[in-house]
Structure 1
Amino acid sequence: MREEYDFSNAVKNPYVGKLKQQITIRLDEQVIDYFKKMSEETGMPYQNIINYYLLDCVKEKKHMEVAFAK
């Protein structure tokens, strides 16, 4: 390895998206288990899988219908 590198002609990576925001969210244990199992099957971190599912909801403008029993 060199002692110094010249980055004066470096180009910003066009594939890097926006930074993700860290939050705390409460999820049911069965939800976490479901995505962790999917993580084991795919080799992808379960938090990334959850993010992709939620991002798909945003892109498709999906809305959840909630009905409470009387």
Structure 2
Amino acid sequence: MLEEYDIDNLNPRPNPYAKELKKQITIKIAPTVIEYFKNESSETGIPYQTLINLYLVDCVNEKKKLNLTWK
């Protein structure tokens, strides 16, 4: 391994995953929803925030629409 690297000659290229980088936000979520995903997390071994993101990505990909009815 070299002691020093010439950064200018490394031929940098754009990150192909840059469009998929996550953005940190603040969102209010009901405690029951958080608890649900935390329970799913303990069963699957996947962090609960990742599970929430995966579910939301699925909604986007499937173009799911909310079905709201008010009583």
What secondary structure does 2:34 align onto? helix
Instruction: Output the CA distance in 1 between the equivalents of 2:2 and 2:43.
Output: 40
| 1:49 paired residue number | 51
| 1:68 paired residue number | 70
| 2:25 paired residue number | 23
Give the TM-score normalised by the residue count of structure 1: 0.75
Equivalent residues, number: 68
- How has the CA–CA distance of structure 1 residues 2 and 45 changed in structure 2, closer, same or farther, with 3 Å as cutoff? farther
**Percent of aligned pairs with the same amino acid:** 53
Instruction: Output the CA distance in 1 between the equivalents of 2:52 and 2:67.
Output: 20
**Cα drift, residue 68 of structure 1:** 1.0
**Cα drift, residue 13 of structure 1:** 7.0
Q: Report the structure, 1 or 2, having the larger helix content.
A: 2
- How has the CA–CA distance of structure 1 residues 5 and 37 changed in structure 2, closer, same or farther, with 3 Å as cutoff? farther
Instruction: Provide Cα deviations, 1:1-60, integer angstroms capped at 9, x if missing partner.
Output: 87557883788775x462101111111111000000111111111000000000000000
Instruction: Output the CA distance in 2 between the equivalents of 1:10 and 1:44.
Output: 33
**Cα drift, residue 67 of structure 1:** 1.1
- How has the CA–CA distance of structure 1 residues 5 and 12 changed in structure 2, closer, same or farther, with 3 Å as cutoff? farther
